[in-house]
Amino acid sequence: MCKVIAIANQKGGVGKTTTAVNLGIGLASEGKKVLLIDGDPQGSLTICMGHKEPDKITESLVEILDMVVNEDDIPDGFGIIHHSENVDLLPSNIGLSSVEISLVNIMSRELVLKSYVNQVKENYDYVVIDCSPSLGVMTINALACADSVLVPVQAAYLPVKGLQQLIKTIYTVQRRLNAKLEIEGILLTMVDNRTNYAKEIVLEVNDAYGKTIPVFPIEIPLSVRAAEISAVGSSIYDYDPKGKAAFAYMSLTKEVLSHGC
Ligand code: ATP
Ligand code: MG
């Protein structure tokens, strides 16, 4: 059985892509077959996986969604790039924003990604979808095909405020499109434990949401090494295996594994 996890938060720069990379590669290091899907026209996940010029990639999620819309057959393995840390990547690029616009006029526009994921999920134990910082049609597509959504939240005042809107959207998707969608958990990221402020935010999130929504017991620390991986094309386990961010992301991976499929 394959579990599809969307990493979503409409707030920008909260650690979605960094979490997608390190959760995906973490799961692979535990022996799971993993597909990472870049669901963001910025192509950040594609860049983080070592492909510095996503706009030059001609076989990607962009072409796949076009094929689904046109009801064309998708060749086996189309667009998928294998990464040396044992995960597959389906890249994306700026073309995804045109696809998003074209989806507005088609029937079942929220279910286009699901149609693709359903075709490939038998090949994987986990599909991890990195969403863009918006609640647009691609994010809704990701939520509509996911079993669960993992919500990274930067431990700061404004990002925490924005959570309410996302949670509302998740519940709307649950009601209208995907009754099985669960919240995998809220993940606090970039936590600077040297400051009281960060500690207060962590307490605030637990107080405000902890009773209704799972909040991961693991926090991702603020770490320069974690920030650097976007440029090196590898995971934190490869780049700084003994660091605190690698330890935190491996603990997150184990926690997600313990939730089962
Ligand atoms: P976007 O909304 O633009 O897609 P995002 O939510 O995917 O952003 P990331 O790209 O993962 O967020 O991270 C935002 C920035 O913060 C990046 O420059 C990244 O390298 C950095 N960053 C991520 N995690 C950490 C961390 N634990 N400590 C310090 N910096 C981090
Ligand atoms: Mg991102």
The predicted structure's pLDDT at residue 1:
87
pLDDT more than 70, % of the chain:
100
Return the CATH superfamily for domain 3-256: P-loop containing nucleotide triphosphate hydrolases (3.40.50.300)
Q: What average pLDDT does range 38-49 have in this prediction?
A: 98
Sign, Cα dihedral of 29, 77, 82, 62: negative
Q: Which atom of ligand 1 is nearest to the CA of 224?
A: 29
Tokens 């930067």 sit on residue = 154
Answer yes or no: is the C-beta of 220 below 6 A from any ligand 1 atom.
Answer: yes
Q: What local confidence, expressed as pLDDT, does residue 110 receive?
A: 96
Q: Is pLDDT of 161 > 80?
A: no
Per DSSP, 75 falls in state: P
In this prediction, residues 60-70 reach a mean pLDDT of 97
Residues with CB in 5 Å of ion ligand 2: 16-17, 44
> What DSSP letter does each residue of 235-254 carry, written as one string?
-HHHH-TTSHHHHHHHHHHH
Q: Ligand 1 test: best mutation among 9, 10, 18, most atoms within 8 Å of CB?
A: 18
Q: How far apart are CA 89 and CA 132, in angstroms?
A: 16
Give the per-residue pLDDT at 200: 87
**Which residue has the CA at smallest separation from atom 24 of ligand 1?**
15
Average pLDDT on 58-71 reads 96
Q: Which band of pLDDT confidence, cut at 50, 70 and 90, is reported for residue 124?
A: very high
231 Cβ below 6 A of ligand 1: no
Residue 176: per-residue pLDDT: 96
Residue 180: CB atoms within 10 A of its CB come to 8
Whether the Cβ atoms of residue 191 and residue 221 lie closer than 8 Å to each other: yes
What is the distance between the alpha carbons of residues 198 and 194, in angstroms, rounded to a whole number? Answer: 8
Does the Cβ of 181 fall within 6 Å of ligand 1?
A: no
Residue 202: is its pLDDT beyond 90?
no
Residue 77 has a pLDDT of 97
In the predicted model, what is the mean pLDDT of the chain?
A: 95
pLDDT-based confidence at residue 251 (cuts at 50, 70, 90): very high
Question: Is the model more confident about 226 or about 203?
Answer: 226
Weakest-pLDDT range from 20-29, 130-139, 159-168 = 159-168
Residue 115 pLDDT > 80? yes
For residue 13, give the ligand nearest its CA: 1
Buried b (16+ CB within 10 A) or exposed e, 187-223: bbbbbeeeeeebeebbeebeeebeeebbbbebbbbbb
112 in contact with ligand 1, CB cutoff 6 A: no
The HSE-up count of residue 261 (CA atoms within 13 Å, CB side) is 10
Three-class secondary structure of residue 39 per DSSP: strand
| 222 Cβ inside 6 Å of ligand 1 | yes
- Asked whether 110 and 177 are in contact (CB, 8 A), the reply is yes
Instruction: Report the C-alpha gap between 163 and 168 in whole angstroms.
Output: 9
